[in-house]
Homo-oligomer: A and B are copies of this chain.
Amino acid sequence: MTVTIRDVALAAGVHISTVSRALSAAHKVRPDTRDRVMAAVEALGYRPNPQARSLITGRTHSIGLIVADIANPFFPPLIKAAEGLARQRDYRVFVADTDEDPAIEAELIQALAKQVDGVLLCSPRMTDQQVEQFREQVPMVLVNRQIDGIPAVLMDVGHGSRLAVEHLVGLGHRRLALLAGPRGSWTNKEIRRAVTAAARDHGAQLTVLGPNPPTEQAGRDAADQVLDAGASAVLAYNDLMAIGLMQSLVSRGVAVPAELSVVGIDNIAASRLTTPQLTTVANPTAAAGRAAADMLLQYHGTTRSENGDENGTGAASLTLHTTLVVRESTGPAPAHAP
């Protein structure tokens, strides 16, 4: 029922190896033979079995893309961009979702390792050691995680966070709160580090709240802590949390930004939809997805480590810039604490 290379060979009156050549190394076959083969291919509707092919070539023409949560609006643009680039290069993409769970993450990458030519690991929650271990099993490009010797696409969210703090300080805020993100997140550490430093530099007081799951619900739940902290401005780990926080604030009768300024991170589409519109640090997620896929395919595209540089070549990192998008959720510090 399924048509194989043998059927084509039979129909074209040649040996299967000739069919194989006609399909991959066209120039190694006489034009007229090639034509006969192609005609048979057409007539029978033959499509090579990629499994069989990859069993012998060792390449699957597909890559894995692992994200913490596909329903988090941060990821879809990244995924889409990575897929688009992969498609251009005739690669398939396996997308998997770890539910923010390091154990599932490990399990998935393990399972994927054998089936793909490389893995794009986005915002991993595993430890560095775990990541390094998997990196030995499969070519890998990291997104939003920095580990020595592993190629990565980073977003300088630390810089963006500093801009946010300076924006806030410029508006007169002296007591800040940081609504931190999940534990294993490199981005979270970067933000925390940058915000702490920036607050110190500008003589502002900082309360760090967390860790928290990176969800709207966590943002809602944190409202009381934020209020208790006595801050006049909050920076949240991401827009989702900032949006949830604003909802709780509204329902408690706290005016944003009059009584409390709120800043998010990511610049997801929804951040323009809230009232007030969210001030946020914009992450170039699509560019990151594209760049990461490009890195992975380029790196693997050179038929397994060439360029006379086995260790260095693939290990370059790319850092993309973030920017502060000032909208309506930030304003001058109130004269008195709320």
Residues of B within 8 A of A51 (CB): 51, 54-55, 60, 114-115
Complex formed: what's the CA distance from A55 to B60 in Å?
13
Which residue in chain B gives the minimum CB-CB distance to A113? B47
Q: Which residues of B contact A49 (CB under 8 A)?
A: 55, 114
Task: Kindly list chain B residues whose C-beta atoms are within 8 Å of the C-beta of A60.
Answer: 51
CB of A191 closer than 8 Å to a CB of B: no
* Residue numbers in B under 8 Å from A274 (CB-CB): 273
Contact string, A133-158, partner B, CB cutoff 8 A, digits 1/0? 00000000000000000000000000
Say yes or no: B83 contacts A76, CB within 8 Å. no
With A50-B115, A60-B51, A80-B71 as known contacts, state yes or no: A243 contacts B95, CB within 8 Å: no
B47 touches A114 (CB 8 A): yes
A52 at the interface (CB under 8 A from B): yes
- Residue A335 lies at the interface, judged by CB distance under 8 Å to chain B: no
Q: Which 9 A-B pairs have the closest CB atoms?
A: A95-B95, A275-B275, A71-B76, A273-B273, A270-B270, A51-B51, A71-B80, A51-B55, A70-B76
Which residues of A does B touch, CB under 8 Å? 47, 49-52, 54-55, 60, 62, 69-71, 73, 76-77, 79-80, 83-84, 92-97, 99, 110-115, 216, 243, 269-270, 273-275
A and B contact pairs by CB, cutoff 8 A, 19 listed: A47-B110, A47-B113, A49-B55, A49-B114, A51-B54, A51-B55, A51-B115, A52-B55, A62-B94, A70-B76, A70-B80, A71-B80, A73-B73, A73-B269, A83-B96, A83-B97, A92-B94, A94-B95, A275-B275
Since A49-B55, A70-B80, A79-B97 are in contact, a sample of 15 more A-B pairs with Cβ atoms closer than 8 Å, ordered by chain A residue number, is A50-B115, A51-B54, A51-B55, A51-B60, A55-B55, A76-B76, A79-B95, A83-B97, A84-B99, A92-B94, A93-B94, A94-B94, A216-B269, A243-B273, A275-B275
